[in-house]
Chains A and B, each alone.
Chain A
Amino acid sequence: MSVANRPSNRPLSPHLQVYRLPLTANLSILHRATGVALAVGALYLATWVIYAASGPRGYAVFQSFNSSILGRIVLGGWLFSLFFHLCNGIRHLFWDAGYGFELKDASRNSWIVVIVALVATAVSWIVGLRLV
């Protein structure tokens, strides 16, 4: 469509390849990505209790994956996804109630969400590794 016959004076969207997304936009994408990751994690949680009910041999197989390097990386990623999606989800609920929309507020509480999620993940890892 040429510029001349565009239907109304609508703003153009930023060109994604040359535009550095602001933190708020990146977190919006991350909420979706972590939501999908958590959905897979929820199936994994179901699988865990099913294996636990199936007997010690089945559970040992499941556990050997959990304690492998790959398993630990995935668990770490899962915990971060959970804490990020939780914090950002609470922010979503505040937005739904009409609070925190000003650009200044949204940018500031973006940082709070990132920092809280990272700290919670780190604390969980430190405590978890001490218990193992």
Chain B
Amino acid sequence: MVDRRTPLARARGLGSAKAGLGHWWAQRLTAVALIPLVVWFAISLVMLSGADYATVRAWIGSPLVMVLLILTIGVGLHHAQLGVQVVVEDYTDGAWRLSLIVLVKFIAVLFGLSAIVAILRIGFGG
């Protein structure tokens, strides 16, 4: 096979295997977990079309839905945060890159935790 690498690329060695694999693997693992979760969620959402406030709360607050919804939001936001990090890394660098990645992670944790607290409040009353 023809070696198409530049001299610089060859000098830099075979590339990095620092933290990349963990990130890659977590993106796949969350993707696999999301397959059943988002199918369940999409069907539920369609079935809830036109539902009123009381119906929606009763749905969110039932034990199985609470667990699945927390999983969907938690795993979904983790996968989203990993994915958006890659997008940011592809198009930015320097201070922008770092600030945007930090911002994305903070937003994911803030919204995720708030949503979990909200679901628990609906389920356990208060």
Contact = CB atoms under 8 A, between A and B. Distances in A.
The finding on whether chains A and B are genuine partners in a shared complex, rather than unrelated, reads yes
A117 to B, nearest CB: 12
A11, A35, A43, A131: most-surrounded residue (chain B CB, <10 A): A43
A104 interface: no
A105 interface: no
Given A9-B2, A9-B4, A35-B87, A93 B42 contact: no
A49 B57 CA distance: 9
B42 A79 contact: yes
Interface in A8-23: 8-11
Interface in A76-107: 79, 82-83, 86, 89-90, 92-93, 96
Interface string A45-62: 111011011101001100
Contacts of A82: 38, 42
Nearest to B31: A89
Contacts of A50: 114-115, 118
Interface residues of B, number: 43
Nearest to B122: A53
Interface residues of A, number: 40
B117 to A, nearest CB: 8
A35 B115 contact: no
Contact of B80 (A9, A32, A38): A38
Contacts of A42: 73, 76-77, 80, 111
A56 B38 contact: no
B46 interface: yes
Interface of A: 7-11, 32, 35-36, 38-39, 42-43, 45-47, 49-50, 52-54, 56, 59-60, 63, 79, 82-83, 86, 89-90, 92-93, 96, 120, 124, 127-129, 131-132
Interface of B: 2-8, 28, 31-32, 34-35, 38-39, 42, 46-47, 49-50, 53, 56-57, 60, 69, 72-73, 76-77, 80-81, 83-84, 87, 107, 111-112, 114-115, 117-119, 121-122
